[in-house]
Amino acid sequence: MSQSSLIDTISQAIDGGITMLQLREKKLSSQAFLEEALAVKTLAKDRHIPLIINDRVDIALACQADGVHIGQNDLPLPVVRSLIGADKIIGVSVQTLDQAIIAEKQGADYLGVGAMFPTKTKEEAIIVDHETLAKICQNVSLPIILIGGMTQQTIPLFQHERINGFAIVSEIMTATETCHVTQKYRQLIDQQLLNKRGATCPFLDH
């Protein structure tokens, strides 16, 4: 996807109701990633949407993103915090209760729990079962974002858990009518989860 197409897609997703944006690029050079991140940051700032950079603390600092999302094999959370400062957002991907508890103790701002289902965007992802998710919800007070296989069919399966948002990639990024599809997700979450559990609207993970 070209940078102009990416910006247009993100703009439509914002129109449709996303409340946070994560930018993830595994194949771009550092220079190309930074150029893309700067363009996305400009749009996100203008539209008042927080921008989170996946994995790359250096890119997050360079584009003045609102935060960083890290996995279990990335830089340790305390190190990331020392680099980006106390005022930035740090999200942590977790697959077990122990990981979730440690992330909370170390000062994470939110948890990305999953993958809840197999996903083509990260085929090597560890699948988290519903029992583990329930334990995390019960024992950790941080906001919880579900990741991996989040669709209009799977999201309602979590209406009885304490979920605060959903990371959605393919359904939004590949849609021919991005705004319309995002609006449908927003309506689904508002109707089935927001009033019951204080969930947010889609967290678009590119």
pLDDT confidence tier of residue 194, bands split at 50, 70 and 90: low
Radius of gyration, alpha carbons of the chain: 16
Cβ contact 21:206 at 8 Å: yes
Band (84; pLDDT cuts 50, 70, 90): very high
Cα 101 from Cα 62, distance rounded (Å): 30
Evaluate if residue 70 carries a pLDDT over 60: yes
Q: Report pLDDT for 203.
A: 59
Average of per-residue pLDDT across 123-129? 85
pLDDT tens per residue, range 149-184: 999 999 999 988 889 999 999 899 999 999 999 999
pLDDT of 79 over the 70 cut:
yes
* Average pLDDT value for residue range 9-22: 96
pTM of the model: 0.92
Which positions are annotated as active-site residues?
24, 93, 122
Distant-in-sequence contacts of 124-133, Cβ < 8 A, 24+ apart: 126/95, 128/95, 132/95, 132/96, 132/97, 133/158, 133/161
pLDDT of amino acid 131: 97
Bigger pLDDT: 149 or 199? 149
Return the pLDDT at 121: 67
What is the reported pLDDT for 158? 92
Instruction: Write down the pLDDT at residue 166.
Output: 92
Q: What is the mean pLDDT of the segment spanning 119-130?
A: 81
Predicted pLDDT of residue 123: 67
Among the listed residues 5, 9, 2, the one whose alpha carbon sits nearest the alpha carbon of residue 205: 9
Residue 7 corresponds to which tokens in the numbers above? Answer: 């910006």
What is the residue-averaged pLDDT of the chain?
92
Q: Which of 9-13, 49-53, 103-107, 196-200 has the lowest mean pLDDT?
A: 196-200
pLDDT value, residue 125: 80
